[in-house]
Amino acid sequence: EDTLLTAEVKMENQVTEEPFNLEEYLTDSLSLQVNAAAPTRNIYPFTPEEDPCWKFERQDPLEILGELSFGKPREISEDTIGTPIQEFYRGVNVFITGGTGFVGKLLTEKLIRSVPHLGHVYLLIRHKQGKTSQERFDQLLQDKIFYRMKAEVPNYLKKIKVVTGDISELGLGLSATDRDLLLDRVHVVFHGAADVRFTEPLRHALASNVLGSQRVLELAKE
């Protein structure tokens, strides 16, 4: 008990006398005596060499996010190793619903721009107001949010595939060919399509927000 009390007093004094320093905390070799019989242990469970996140602690955050190449075309070789998230999406094909909405646009732009070795992004877009899904996609790309992506990833069109469909319809309104394509190639699904107009009749909201989500889930399970 005396040993523990002494350790607690020392720790308390350290906190009150000096401002907290993360780097010192991570590398501190101070050990606490848990009790008289137990061996000592380090405050931090990893040494810098063992900690998988340590190398990212030492990097410039702008470099990690790729922000230093703002507005310039990127040429990244296939053998370049990225961050854990970038490596997770290496060669991965993504299916996105709601890609024309404000969240879907952000997600699409971020994936294409920040994941150099991404496979393909399949966007589910419905016909609307006399425009085909492809026409709506072409119009979507005129949004300012895509300016930087188009500058830094000149081959972005090779990464994006438009799939015609509607979450409010049976089978998501997919053709047999497109459905087989998605089942064969997609690894990750982001479901962002929804009807956010709160004045819609209940049956319309139910068809999109509840049954639509169920249909996407059923497709993902297949």
Domain residue ranges in the chain: 80-221
Q: Please report, as a single letter, which amino acid is at residue 189.
A: V
The string of DSSP letters for 134-161 reads HHHHHHHTTSGGGHHHHHH-TTHHHHEE
For 50, 63, 111, 132, 175, the CA distances from 124, given in Å and listed in that order, are 43, 32, 16, 12, 12
Question: Sorting pLDDT into bands at 50, 70 and 90, what band is 21?
Answer: low
State the architecture of 80-221 in CATH terms: 3-Layer(aba) Sandwich (3.40)
| pTM recorded for the entire structure | 0.67
Confidence (pLDDT) at 33: 37
Q: Side chain identity at 132, as an amino acid letter? A: T
**Res. 39 pLDDT band, cuts 50 70 90:** very low
The predicted model gives 207-215 an average pLDDT of 89
- Is the pLDDT higher at 152 or at 75? 152
**Is the pLDDT assigned to residue 61 strictly greater than 80?**
no
The listed range with the strongest mean pLDDT (13-17, 33-37, 143-147) is: 143-147
